[in-house]
Amino acid sequence: MTWELLWKIVFIGVVSLFALLSVLVTILGARDVKRMLKELKSEESEEE
């Protein structure tokens, strides 16, 4: 395998994985944001 072929495979592979990760983080990260804010809010109400 040549260096050029190796870097082509690495580039296509990593960028494809990153595209998948971007979709997952956008959707599931929003869920985490909601959960974190909900917990912080309930903690705040308990303190009051």
Partner 1 sequence: MNEATQEALSRTNFTTIDTVIVAVYLLLSVAIGLMVKRYAGSMANYIGAGRKVGTWLGVATMTGTELGLVTVMYSAQKGFSGGFAAFHIAVIAGVATLFVGLTGFIVGPLRRARVLTIPEFYEKRFNKSIRVIGGIMLVFGGVLNMGLFLKAGSMFIVGVTGLASDGEVLKWVMVGLLVMVLIYTTLGGMISVILTDYVQFVVLSFGLLVATGMAVSKLGWSKIFETVHTELGDAGFNPTIEGTGFGWSYILWMLVTAGLIGSAVWPTAVSRALAMRSEKALKQQYCWSSISFAVRFLIPYFWGICALVFISATPEGADLKALFFPPEGSTQEGLNNLYAMPVFIGRILPPVLIGIITAGMIAAFMSTHDSYFLCWSSVITQDIVAPLRKKPFSTKSRVKLTRIVIILMGGYVLYWSLFYKGGEDIWDYMAVTGGIYFTGAFVVLMLGVYWKKMSSFGALLGLLAGFLMVVGLEPVQKAVGLKVESSPGEWTEVLTSPQIGLITVGISLVLSVLGSLMRPDKAKGKEEGNLAV
- The position carrying tokens 């985490």 is 32
Residues in contact with partner 1, shown as a per-residue x/- string from 5 to 34 under the rule CB under 8 A: --xx-xx--xx-xxx-xx-xxx-xxxxxx-
Shortest CB 8 distance to partner 1, Å: 8
Residue 42 binds partner 1 (CB under 8 A): no
DSSP secondary structure of 5-48? HHHHHHHHHHHHHHHHHHHHHHHHHHHHHHHHHHHHHHHHHHH-
Q: Is 46 in the site for partner 1 (CB under 8 A)?
A: no
The tokens describing 41, both together, are: 């809010």
Least separation in angstroms between residue 1's CB and partner 1 is 12
